[in-house]
Structures are given as C-alpha cells and as structure tokens.
C-alpha cells in the first residue's frame, strides 16, 4: 500500500523521532511513503488565527502538490498538520468559490482526489493479524496512557475516524504491541503546546495536570501522536518538576515508537535515544 507522505516542519526538528519511527514502522509493515516534493508549512495555529484565507491557501498548496504527485491519499503523522490539511480539504470541497479563490492565490488547483488521513488512522485500519505478525518483542503488560490530544479527534466533522470523547484506535494498537492501555480521563484534553513559547506558565499547568492524571491512572508511560504534545509533555517535564515540586519521570513516546519497539526495531531507528525521559520497558 502506498501513500503520499506529509511530514510537516516539526517532524524535521523537535519531532524528528516521530518521522524516523513512522518511516521505520511503515517500512516494516510494507507501507510505501512518497514524500510530497517541496512541501511547505501548514501554517498551524498562527495562520488560522491571522487569516482564514492564508490558512487554507498554505495547506492547499500541499494538497495540490500531493494530488499532482498522484500517489494516493496523503498520510500525516503530525496531528496538527493532519487537522489543518483535513480542514482545508473539507472547506475547499464544500465551497467552490473558495476553491477558485485559493487556486488563484496558489496558482495550483486541488480537485479533492487525494484524501487526508492521519497515520494513526491508517495504522489502526490495518489488518490486526498483519500487525500482530510483526510483533517480536511484546511489551509485557506495560501500562500505557494513550494521549490523543485535541487535533487528532476534533472537530469530529473534520477528523471523524475515531470517537472524539473516547478515542480507541491508539489503545487498540498499543494492546496489539503487548502493552496494556490504561483507562484515564485526559485522553483528549489540550496540553497547551500552542502556548509553549508565548505563555509558558499556562502550558506548564496543563502539562502538570495531564502527567498527574496519567500517573494516578497507573500509567508507566504516555503514548501520543502529535509532535507538539510529545515535545511539550516530554521536554518540559523537568521544568514542570522544578516549578511544581513534582517528581514526574514518565516516558512520553510516539505510538510509532512503541509499535516499532514491539516489532523489534532498534532504539536508534526509532529515535528512542532522542527522548528526554528515557523509555526502558521492563527495567
């Protein structure tokens, strides 16, 4: 199975290990990823907070490039990029006037043939036997809190592949990998990553709350599908401990890293060495 691949800016920097592990896991599963040539930033929150047209146009260029490449649906690991591309696709499809206007702006038309899917959705939709067959190093009942965050499941009219209040696709994958997903209440709470630079104290409080609830639920680690969330929860954990006097030491990894580990892929291939809080299952 082949997809067009949109990495997004974070996956080339703070979310590097998501890119590595996504490619490694897809490779193992026989999913071909053809990166969109010369893709640009989706615009993220700053774009839609500044100009609706700009937000759609930036994503539309990527959609048009992908469609021109003609390698099937676009698969996006990053939850934020995924949501921006999916929103743009939906709006362009529903409003011919907007499509025309955006085509004038970008100089490229997007007819809506190439769909937009999150990597979680794609992997979650694979045949479970196929997935199980790759598991050579099951996680031995490791307790994992699956953290979906905001953008993967909301707004449901745009995302729609999982339940917005109780998503389960990541839990199912984690279970296949031999880990035990813990039931917890903060699966889809916002981690405030968007404010990490501009309003850090607000972000730290949200991060603290999520870590706290996960720990109370008995989680050994957090599993996520968004580079903003991962970076926020992992890299800021030490800072949270300093500010709140806490002692969190919860590994926060991408679901692709967890899967890849169970598939027997190396730490290096999965970028596990890049985590702030080390992931050492069974130790």
In whole angstroms, give the CA distance from residue 41 to residue 51.
Answer: 15
Q: With CA atoms as reference, report the closest residue to 17 among 273, 282, 279.
A: 273
Instruction: Return the exposure string of 87-108: e unless at least 16 CB atoms fall within 10 Å of the residue's CB, then b.
Output: bbbbbbeeeeebbeebbeebeb
34 neighbors 243 (Cβ within 8 angstroms): no
Among 194, 223, 229, 240, binds another protein (CB under 8 A): 194
Task: Find the part of the chain contacting another protein (CB under 8 A) among 5-13, 175-183, 216-224, 259-267.
Answer: 5-13
Phi-psi region of 278 (alpha: psi -120 to 50; beta: other; left: phi over 0): beta
* Nearer to another protein (CB atom), residue 34 or residue 135: 34
* Nearer to another protein (CB atom), residue 134 or residue 232: 232
237 neighbors 251 (Cβ within 8 angstroms): no
Is residue 241 within the footprint of another protein (CB under 8 A)? no
Among 3, 4, 10, 211, binds another protein (CB under 8 A): 10
Phi-psi region of 30 (alpha: psi -120 to 50; beta: other; left: phi over 0): left
In whole angstroms, give the CA distance from residue 274 to residue 99.
Answer: 41
Task: Find the part of the chain contacting another protein (CB under 8 A) among 36-44, 111-119, 172-180, 249-257.
Answer: 36-44
Among 27, 40, 69, 138, binds another protein (CB under 8 A): 40
Task: Find the part of the chain contacting another protein (CB under 8 A) among 15-23, 25-33, 126-134, 252-260.
Answer: 15-23
275 neighbors 235 (Cβ within 8 angstroms): no
Task: Find the part of the chain contacting another protein (CB under 8 A) among 9-17, 25-33, 139-147, 214-222.
Answer: 9-17
The contact set with another protein (CB under 8 A) reads 9-10, 12-17, 38-41, 43-54, 57-58, 61, 101, 104-107, 150-151, 154-156, 164-165, 188-190, 192-195, 197-200, 202, 205-206, 231, 235-236, 238-239, 273-276
């Amino acid at each position: 199975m082949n997809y067009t691949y949109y990495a997004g800016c974070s996956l080339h920097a703070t979310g590097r290990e998501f890119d590595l592990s996504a490619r490694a896991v897809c490779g193992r599963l026989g999913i071909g990823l053809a990166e969109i040539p010369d893709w640009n930033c989706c615009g993220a929150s700053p774009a839609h907070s500044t100009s609706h047209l700009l937000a759609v146009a930036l994503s539309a260029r990527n959609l048009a490039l992908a469609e021109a490449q003609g390698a099937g649906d676009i698969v996006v690991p990053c939850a934020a990029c995924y949501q921006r591309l999916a929103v743009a696709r939906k709006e362009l499809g529903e409003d011919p006037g907007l499509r025309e206007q955006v085509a004038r702006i970008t100089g490229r038309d997007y007819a809506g043939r190439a769909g937009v899917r999150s990597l979680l959705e794609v992997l979650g939709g694979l045949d479970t036997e196929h997935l199980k067959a790759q598991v050579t190093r099951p996680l031995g009942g490791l307790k994992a809190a699956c953290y979906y965050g905001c953008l993967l499941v909301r707004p449901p009219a745009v995302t729609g592949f999982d339940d917005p209040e109780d998503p389960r696709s990541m839990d199912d994958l984690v279970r296949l990998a031999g880990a035990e997903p813990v039931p917890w209440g903060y699966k889809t709470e916002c981690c405030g990553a968007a404010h990490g630079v501009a309003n850090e104290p607000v972000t730290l409080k949200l991060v603290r709350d999520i870590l706290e609830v996960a720990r109370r639920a008995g989680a050994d680690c957090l599993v996520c599908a968004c580079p903003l969330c991962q970076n926020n929860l992992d890299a800021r954990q030490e800072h949270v401990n300093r500010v709140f006097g806490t002692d969190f030491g919860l590994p926060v990894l991408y679901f692709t890293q967890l899967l890849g580990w169970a598939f027997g892929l190396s730490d290096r291939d999965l970028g596990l060495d890049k985590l702030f809080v080390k992931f050492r299952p069974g130790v």
